[in-house]
């Protein structure tokens, strides 16, 4: 069985691809886990820029409600993993809910003319909170309308309000984004990383963006070998031998 998300390397570029087109690339537990793994791999690896794209006619239909990860936030770039290097997303068709969040948290976004963004969470009765920072990325009232009404935002309108960088003809988003990635890969890595760190520190964050990583640290402690050792030592009335993991 093929992996629903893949990580390939082309020169200095990490190509991260959603590969579940039969479900419009809806994010299930495995996909969220793989995305988390790949964001960390990219952040700590030699690749200089990442390109996130999707197989099929649609970028991502959001979270797969039949198999949703309880920690889907870990698969969100710059939330589940701190990334100091440029990330570009290439979008065709629908980018819904969590799929939209992936594009919002990218540094650059290229779409083709078929692209449509939608955030229907208010109609479904749930909200993860990360996308609240959309108000720091596009005009406030446009962001609130998009988040609250859950109506589609088409490619040209997304460009007009500053949500995306380029709109291409159908089927050309990936090609255009890859060319952009190649240009970034040839630029000075330290300068790009410094620009990204500085811009992210300048950009206001939603409460969820700040909270999720902190909860992650606490979860790691609760699941650590040191915690198990501490409990065992307490029960056995001996001194704990902690290892730091």
Q: Based on the fold, state whether residues 186 and 224 are members of the same structural domain.
A: no
Q: Based on the fold, state whether residues 84 and 138 are members of the same structural domain.
A: yes
Report how far residue 160's alpha carbon sits from residue 157's, in angstroms, rounded to the nearest whole number.
Answer: 5
Write the CATH number for 81. 3.90.226.10
Q: Based on the fold, state whether residues 120 and 239 are members of the same structural domain.
A: no
Q: Which residue segment(s) compose the domain that 110 sits in?
A: 5-205
Q: Based on the fold, state whether residues 18 and 105 are members of the same structural domain.
A: yes
The strand order across the sheet containing 87-91 reads 5-10, 13-18, 49-54, 87-91, 108-112, 166-168
Q: Based on the fold, state whether residues 113 and 215 are members of the same structural domain.
A: no
- For residue 80, how many C-alpha atoms fall within 13 Å in the half-sphere facing its CB? 20
Digit-by-digit pLDDT tens for the chain (245 residues) are 689 999 999 999 999 999 999 999 999 999 999 999 999 999 999 999 999 999 999 999 999 989 999 889 999 999 999 999 999 999 999 999 999 999 999 999 999 999 999 999 998 888 889 999 999 999 999 999 999 999 999 999 999 999 999 999 999 999 999 999 999 999 999 999 999 999 999 999 988 888 877 665 656 666 778 868 777 876 888 888 888 88
Per DSSP, what are the bridge partners of residue 15?
A: 8, 51
- Tokens 């964050």 belong to residue: 205
């Amino acid at each position: 069985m093929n992996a629903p998300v893949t990580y390939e390397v082309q020169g200095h570029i990490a190509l991260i691809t959603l590969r579940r087109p039969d479900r419009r690339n809806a994010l299930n537990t495995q996909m969220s886990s793989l995305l988390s793994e790949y964001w960390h791999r990219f952040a700590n690896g030699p690749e200089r820029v990442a390109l996130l794209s999707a197989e099929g006619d649609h970028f991502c239909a959001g979270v797969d409600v039949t198999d949703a990860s309880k920690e889907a936030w870990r698969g969100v770039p710059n939330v589940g993993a701190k990334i100091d290097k440029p990330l570009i997303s290439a979008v065709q068709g629908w980018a819904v809910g969590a799929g939209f969040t992936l594009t919002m948290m990218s540094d650059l976004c290229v779409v083709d003319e078929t692209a449509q963004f939608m955030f229907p969470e208010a109609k479904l009765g749930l909200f993860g909170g990360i996308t609240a920072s959309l108000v720091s990325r596009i005009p406030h009232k446009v962001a609130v309308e998009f988040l609250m009404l859950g109506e589609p935002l088409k490619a040209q309108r997304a460009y007009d309000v500053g949500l995306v960088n380029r709109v291409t003809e159908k089927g050309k988003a990936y090609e255009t984004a890859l060319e952009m990635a190649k240009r970034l890969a040839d630029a000075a890595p330290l300068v790009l990383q410094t620009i990204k760190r500085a811009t992210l520190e300048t950009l206001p964050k939603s409460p969820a963006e700040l909270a999720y990583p902190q909860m992650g640290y606490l979860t790691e402690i609760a699941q650590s070998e040191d915690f198990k050792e501490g409990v065992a030592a307490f029960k056995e009335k001996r001194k704990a031998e902690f290892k730091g993991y």
